[in-house]
A and B are shown apart, each in its own frame.
Chain A
Amino acid sequence: GEDVEQSLFLSVREGDSSVINCTYTDSSSTYLYWYKQEPGAGLQLLTYIFSNMDMKQDQRLTVLLNKKDKHLSLRIADTQTGDSAIYFCAEEGVNFNKFYFGSGTKLNVKP
């Protein structure tokens, strides 16, 4: 299968911006996703971006896509303690029926 890689941990202070990075290998990816998993819960879709876009903004969330480098990032502005969770990057293949998830980045927000 395709590889989706993320760093395992990120720690930031409340009020700072968080940037979670992801790299993937499938150049034919169509959509790329960010999911959030809070403790004891399943994954929740945060946002997604179509592969022909460079950026998508949704309130405090900004997704940047560098298709040439196969690099996806999620920026959370004014990070709050409630943003502490595991964030998963995922890519969807060209046939729209293959999802590849990363291992997740655990975001720790310190007060």
Chain B
Amino acid sequence: ETGVTQTPRHLVMGMTNKKSLKCEQHLGHNAMYWYKQSAKKPLELMFVYSLEERVENNSVPSRFSPECPNSSHLFLHLHTLQPEDSALYLCASSQDHGSRATKLFFGSGTQLSVL
């Protein structure tokens, strides 16, 4: 148990669907992240939240919409996705954002398939 829980583990959706990914951390951390992992490519940072405020948005298409209602929960709302959005979506947390030696704690990810 890493302390970071993601649901669902697997998700299949059509291009017209709307779905949400959920992440919860039980570590008392102040920063949370969404990463996209595609095969044989570096992890892509999508969003960073620090103390519930978005501090990073790496040119992510608007069909991905993050939400951080409190420091323990992070959502990624999905709508009108494309097949190339199929990937493993990883949530991570860290004690703080922008401090030395940031240790990231990852969830197990949501494997998303867009048909």
B-binding residues in A (CB < 8 A): 4, 8, 30-31, 35, 40-45, 48, 50, 88, 92, 95-97, 99-104
Given A95-B98, A97-B97 in contact, is the A4-B106 Cβ separation under 8 Å? no
Interface size on B, residues (CB 8 A): 26
What are 8 A-B contacts defined by CB distance under 8 Å? A4-B42, A8-B40, A30-B100, A31-B102, A35-B104, A42-B92, A97-B97, A103-B40
Chain B interface main SS type: loop
Chain A interface main SS type: strand
Distance (whole angstroms) from the CB of A30 to the closest CB of chain B: 7
**Chain B residue contacts of A44, Cβ below 8 A:** 2, 106
A35 to B92, CA, bound (A): 13
Cβ-Cβ contact count across A and B, 8 Å cutoff: 58
Q: Which 8 A-B pairs have the closest CB atoms?
A: A42-B106, A101-B43, A97-B98, A43-B106, A101-B42, A42-B108, A42-B107, A96-B98
Q: Give B31's nearest chain A residue, CB to CB.
A: A97
Contact B101–A42 (Cβ < 8 Å): no
Add 13 more A-B contacts to A42-B90, A96-B102, A104-B40 (CB < 8 A): A30-B100, A35-B104, A42-B106, A42-B109, A44-B2, A48-B103, A95-B98, A97-B55, A97-B98, A99-B45, A100-B42, A103-B40, A103-B41
A-binding residues in B (CB < 8 A): 2, 4, 6, 40-43, 45, 48, 55-56, 90, 92, 97-109
Contact B42–A103 (Cβ < 8 Å): yes
Contact B108–A40 (Cβ < 8 Å): yes
**Chain A residue contacts of B97, Cβ below 8 A:** 97
Contact B40–A31 (Cβ < 8 Å): no
Select one of B40, B48, B90 contacting A43, CB under 8 A. Answer: B90
**Chain A residue contacts of B102, Cβ below 8 A:** 31, 92, 96-97, 99
Given A30-B100, A31-B100, A99-B45 in contact, is the A42-B2 Cβ separation under 8 Å? yes
